A and B are shown apart, each in its own frame.
Chain A
Amino acid sequence: MINHLRALRADRGWSQQHLADLLDVSRQSVNAIETGRYDPSLPLAFKLAELSDLAIEDVFVSPSKEP
């Protein structure tokens, strides 16, 4: 699933490790989500969006709307 995680992190000045600590997951997980290797569960996706004060669809692109 396409996502805007890299841009979101860059805007906030967060490293992958910092975001991983906030989410209580490994840096590997953040990297896997960011690079599209892994689609997170809904609870984790919501946690990510809430941490960023964004709606979930502002972080993740619906597969039906992918170019």
Chain B
Amino acid sequence: MTIDVANPRYRDPATRRYTRRMVGVMLSYIVLLFGVQRGFPLDTMHGPARWVLAALPGLPIAAVFWLIGDMILDMRDEYLRLLEVRKALIATGVTMTLVSILGFLELLGGAPHLPLFYVPVLWFGSLGVGQCANMLIERQRS
């Protein structure tokens, strides 16, 4: 996540830490995803062992949310922190709006089922909407 494109000289230590941790988390995601898919006969497995294995690749994705929260709490630059908070709130609002509507489309409108896996994907995509909103809001105020 890019924080301060306008000032390449300033890099909040929290964002540096976030980037470092993010690389580790993404690597563990790849290892877990391919390890579980290729290392275990999930199709023929049943019960808790399969559930645990199937849930494992979701843990690094969950960790990303913790990393973002941790970064926001640790950021020293309070204005950039405000921008990050607003971006995350907008992403949450956009995601919740879309999944609420999609949920009723599925229930009442005969729309095909969207796997829950896509909810975090949608949220990450919505961060882009939040970033655009930040730019527009800040431009409007200046």
Asked whether B79 lies within 8 Å of A38 as measured between CB atoms, the reply is yes
Least CB distance from B35 to A in Å reads 40
CA distance A26 to B12 in the complex (A): 8
A36–B140 Cα distance when bound, in Å, is 12
Instruction: Point out the residue from B6, B7, B9, B82 that lies within 8 Å of A38, measured CB to CB.
Output: B82
Question: Within the assembled complex, what's the spacing in Å between the Cα atoms of A44 and B76?
Answer: 11
In the bound assembly, the distance between CA atoms of A29 and B75 in angstroms comes to 13
Q: How far is the CA of A39 from the CA of B32 in the complex (A)?
A: 45
Which range holds the interface residue count of chain A? 10 to 19
Residues of chain A within 8 A of B79, CB atoms compared: 25-26, 28-29, 32-33, 38, 40
Interface of B is mostly: loop
The residue from A17, A25, A37 contacting B138, defined by CB atoms under 8 A apart: A37
Q: Is B106 an interface residue (CB 8 A)?
A: no
Apart from A26-B77, A27-B10, 18 more pairs, CB < 8 Å: A20-B7, A25-B76, A26-B4, A26-B10, A26-B80, A28-B4, A28-B10, A29-B79, A32-B138, A33-B79, A36-B141, A37-B138, A37-B141, A37-B142, A38-B82, A40-B78, A41-B78, A44-B78
Binding site for A on B (CB under 8 A): 4, 6-7, 9-10, 12, 76-80, 82, 138, 141-142
